[in-house]
Amino acid sequence: MPSSRPLHLDLSPLVEACEADLRTCAEVWHQRGAQRFGLYAEEKPLFESGEESVKKTAVMRQSPVLLDGEARAFVRVHGPAKKLMQSHLDANAALFGRIFQLEHDNRVKTMYLAEVQKRLTNLHTFVHASRLMHQTIGDIISEMSRTTLDVLDVSGTFLYVKLLRPISASNHFADFSGAQGEIYLQQVQLTNCPQRAQFMPSRDSGEELLLVPIYVLGLIEGVSGFVDLPSRFTPFYEKMAEIMAEQIGARIEHVLLYDNILHEQRLTTEMELARQVQMHLLPQKQPTIPGLDICGMTFPALQVGGDFYEFLVNDQTFTFIVGDVSGKGLSAAMMMAMTRAILRSTASFAFAVMTPEDVLTQTNEDVYDDYNRVTTFTTTFMGQYDLAPVRDRLVIANAGHSPVLYCPLGEPSRLLEADAPPLGVLETIGVANHTIGFKPGDLLIVATDGFSEAENSADEIFGYDRLLELADQTRHLSAREIVKAFSEVATAFEGDRPQHDDRTIVVIKRLNPPDEDSSDVTP
Amino acid sequence: MNLAVETLDTVIVLKLDGRFDAYEAPQISAWVDNQISPGQCQIIADLSSVSFIDSTALATLVKGMKRCRQHGGDLYICGMVKTVRIIFELTRLDKAFRIFETRSEAVNAF
């Protein structure tokens, strides 16, 4: 964009540039008898040649030098009247007028080219600034405001962005005092951000304010202001201002999106860490108990959940626990870690035999206040198998946990209902021990609702009936194979639908004694 | 899922419908947080049109029940369909809540 500021026409440098031509011309006049030759502007000599004082008989002739149609100087000669041809002098004046005009135009064009080059450099800086990453919106505002000023070469620019509260404005007024800048800013804040580019007169200087809205994600979130003389605001200028405001908006959008991505990545990393911690809290290997085939596994969903299971072995008993904290995410994971720790320490109490009922009752008392505050609960199933002496039974207690599938040899599988609500619901839980037969060939599958509530694309739930059927179909397999089959069938049932909850399953199978036929049992 | 709130004297009836799961629970949870107060703590959750309920939804009802009891009131449940009732029975949450066949029975129990 060419500058429309008038370039002051100063003759001195032009005369200096053409001094050799003036001297040649003067010599010709001196050869013809002229005593003095000169160029004058406003009665001051710009160039003079010849004698300081001229003879009394000498005459003076002069001719105007026209620039842009105006007489800006005169060429004068002094000498004998008959030697000085006015027509020659007029020709000289016309020639110098033309030379000066060309020199002047040349200078204007050179300056214009230099200015264009400067603008291009500034535009490059502006575009480059808009590509810098790791910037805050504050950085962008001050950077963009400064480079905008350079690109458009206006008296002042400022940026005001609502996104940074309470106030975020950057003033870059080239020729204005800070106080003047504050006045402009107040004007903008009073009128709110404009819907489209608009002009506003300034208070007392003769300048105008061009306000261009800044759109961020489709909403007007700020304004870019350009301060200058009204005559400077050409349509081209306006267009440039709009383009720059658009670029600033796009840049702010990038930063917001970039920040969002960073934030999400941070959350994902934290969730991943929580997930890893949670997985490390689960048993790292399957216990080896004579006469039992045991397998426990958790198949995590994308989001951290609150499933857990635990195996505890001492001289007298083998104890297993399966639990599920209601809800998902970090809060469920934290409650899971706490509940698991309390269950474990209660169950491992060294000075007395703690039955499942004792452990669940004690744990409920310990966690109730905390669960009340965070309003969640944990379903927990606990089973105990006597090791010395071995008995054909399991002692179980169930605080609100399902599904628990019991498959006695030769009978169809059935669901075991809880006899108390989950931990954390009632202050007095009222859970009790129950004894179920656990003879060779008997099987117990304790899963979490991630299995029963697996959902397919037709919004159907896997449900308890399918689980019972699956237990009957797989009961001849080893514990590990049963776990694998349950997981595969649930995953296949979901099809394209993502697994929305953790799935945990513990399979305990009573093996046939070694002296009996164990063809249907894999130890 | 829709949430319709009806007031009968001092009793507020929450009529829920469709699936009541982890995706729908937050709006009920927010209602519990904002609405239950000492003067508004007799609530009936009418589940007659709820076809499915998951553990997050159950936790939300437990939360509502606890809030009401803290203020001297209670949260009753009425009108459970069979599939929902099975879940309450399996988890023994039917022991934690007072459950009624019909809405009027629940209202009269307050």
DSSP B8-75: ETTEEEEEEEEEESTTTHHHHHHHHHHH-BTTB-EEEEEEEEEEEE-HHHHHHHHHHHHHHHHTT-EE
pLDDT value, residue A520: 47
Separation CA A44–CA A46 (nearest Å): 6
Chain B residue numbers touching A453 (CB-CB < 8 A): 54
Q: How far is A347 from chain B (nearest CA, A)?
A: 22
Q: How confident is the model at residue A35 (pLDDT cuts 50, 70, 90)?
A: very high
CATH number at residue A236: 3.30.450.40
| CA B1 to mean position of chain CA atoms | 14
Across residues A4-32, what is the average pLDDT? Answer: 82
**Residue-wise pLDDT tens digits, A285-297:** 899 999 999 999 9
Chain B residue numbers touching A426 (CB-CB < 8 A): 95-96
pLDDT greater than 80 at residue A256: yes
Select from A425, A427, A453 the residue whose CB has the most chain B CBs within 10 Å, as the one to mutate to test that interface: A425
pLDDT value, residue A522: 43
For chain A, what is the domain count? 3
Nearest-CA neighbor of A354 among A388, A378, A377, A382?
A382
Which tokens is A55 given? 């003879």
Are A305 and A158 found together in one domain?
no
pLDDT value, residue A390: 84
Residue A230 lies in a domain: yes
Q: How confident is the model at residue A120 (pLDDT cuts 50, 70, 90)?
A: confident
Quick check: A425 contacting B, CB < 8 Å?
A: yes
Nearest Cβ partner for A461 among B52, B55, B93:
B52
Separation CA A427–CA A409 (nearest Å): 38
Separation CA A452–CA A380 (nearest Å): 16
Indicate yes or no: CB of A326 within 8 angstroms of CB of B86.
no
Nearest Cβ partner for A400 among B52, B56, B91:
B91
Chain A residue numbers touching B95 (CB-CB < 8 A): 420-421, 426, 430
Nearest Cβ partner for A449 among B54, B63, B95:
B54
Which tokens is A239 given? 């267009």
pLDDT value, residue A178: 56
pLDDT value, residue A350: 64
Indicate yes or no: CB of A403 within 8 angstroms of CB of B90.
yes
Q: What is the ipTM of this complex?
A: 0.88
pLDDT greater than 90 at residue A228: no
Are A139 and A118 found together in one domain?
no
Start-end of H helices in A302-412: 329-347, 356-374
**From its phi and psi, is residue A499 left (phi > 0), alpha (psi between -120 and 50) or beta?**
beta
Quick check: A139 contacting B, CB < 8 Å?
A: no
Across residues A124-144, what is the average pLDDT? Answer: 71
Q: How far is B5 from chain A (nearest CA, A)?
A: 22
Nearest-CA neighbor of A176 among A138, A212, A145, A207?
A207
Separation CA A366–CA A340 (nearest Å): 12
Separation CA B64–CA B67 (nearest Å): 5
Of the three residues A224, A259, A294, the one that is the final residue of a domain is A259
Q: Which of the two residues, B48 and A151, has the higher pLDDT score? A: B48
Separation CA A509–CA A380 (nearest Å): 20
Are A118 and A143 found together in one domain?
no
Neighbour tally for A148: CB within 10 Å: 26
* Residue A453 contacts residue B54 (beta carbons within 8 Å): yes
Are A45 and A190 found together in one domain?
no
pLDDT value, residue A24: 93
pLDDT value, residue A192: 67
Are A199 and A178 found together in one domain?
yes
- Host domain of residue A98: 11-123
Average pLDDT, chain A: 84
Chain B residue numbers touching A400 (CB-CB < 8 A): 91-93
Are A415 and A331 found together in one domain?
yes
* Residue A446 contacts residue A420 (beta carbons within 8 Å): no
Nearest Cβ partner for B62 among A401, A425, A430:
A425
Q: How confident is the model at residue A9 (pLDDT cuts 50, 70, 90)?
A: confident
Are A349 and A496 found together in one domain?
yes
pLDDT value, residue A521: 43
| Least confident segment among A215-229, A373-387, B77-91 | A215-229
* Residue B44 contacts residue B106 (beta carbons within 8 Å): yes
Indicate yes or no: CB of B90 within 8 angstroms of CB of A376.
no
Are A169 and A315 found together in one domain?
no
Q: Which residues of B touch A (CB under 8 A)?
A: 19, 22, 52, 54-56, 58-59, 62-63, 66-67, 86-87, 89-93, 95-96
Chain A residue numbers touching B63 (CB-CB < 8 A): 375-376
Of the three residues A259, A291, A319, the one that is the final residue of a domain is A259
Phi and psi, residue A399, nearest 5°: -100, 90
| Least confident segment among A55-64, A155-164, B8-17 | A155-164
Nearest-CA neighbor of A305 among A423, A418, A449?
A449
Q: How far is A455 from chain B (nearest CA, A)?
A: 12
* Residue A378 contacts residue A306 (beta carbons within 8 Å): yes
Are A106 and A187 found together in one domain?
no
Residue A265 lies in a domain: no
Q: What is the share, in percent, of chain A residues with pLDDT greater than 70?
A: 88
Residue A4 lies in a domain: no
Quick check: A305 contacting B, CB < 8 Å?
A: no
**Residue-wise pLDDT tens digits, A452-481:** 999 998 888 899 999 999 999 999 999 999
Across residues A176-193, what is the average pLDDT? Answer: 63
Nearest-CA neighbor of B80 among B105, B59, B63, B56?
B105
The ranges assigned to domains in chain B are 3-109
Nearest-CA neighbor of A308 among A290, A321, A289, A291?
A321
Chain B residue numbers touching A401 (CB-CB < 8 A): 91
Neighbour tally for A418: CB within 10 Å: 23
Residue A404 lies in a domain: yes
Across residues A31-56, what is the average pLDDT? Answer: 89
Nearest Cβ partner for B59 among A326, A402, A500:
A326
Angle B25-35/B55-70 helices, nearest 10 degrees?
A: 10
pLDDT greater than 50 at residue A4: no
Q: How far is B11 from chain A (nearest CA, A)?
A: 23
Residue A33 lies in a domain: yes
pTM: 0.66
Are A346 and A252 found together in one domain?
no
Are A150 and A182 found together in one domain?
yes
Separation CA B29–CA B58 (nearest Å): 11
Separation CA A200–CA A184 (nearest Å): 10
Are A164 and A62 found together in one domain?
no
Residue A1 lies in a domain: no
pLDDT greater than 50 at residue A518: no
pLDDT value, residue A121: 83
pLDDT greater than 50 at residue A167: no
pLDDT greater than 70 at residue A1: no
Indicate yes or no: CB of A418 within 8 angstroms of CB of B91.
yes
CATH number at residue A352: 3.60.40.10
Start-end of H helices in A220-379: 235-281, 329-347, 356-374
Indicate yes or no: CB of B86 within 8 angstroms of CB of A377.
no
Q: What is the CATH number of domain B3-109?
A: 3.30.750.24
Indicate yes or no: CB of B92 within 8 angstroms of CB of A372.
no
pLDDT value, residue A156: 75
Residue A70 lies in a domain: yes
pLDDT value, residue A7: 46
* Residue A14 contacts residue A47 (beta carbons within 8 Å): no
Three-state secondary structure call for residue A239: helix
Across residues B52-62, what is the average pLDDT? Answer: 90
Of the three residues A244, A259, A274, the one that is the final residue of a domain is A259
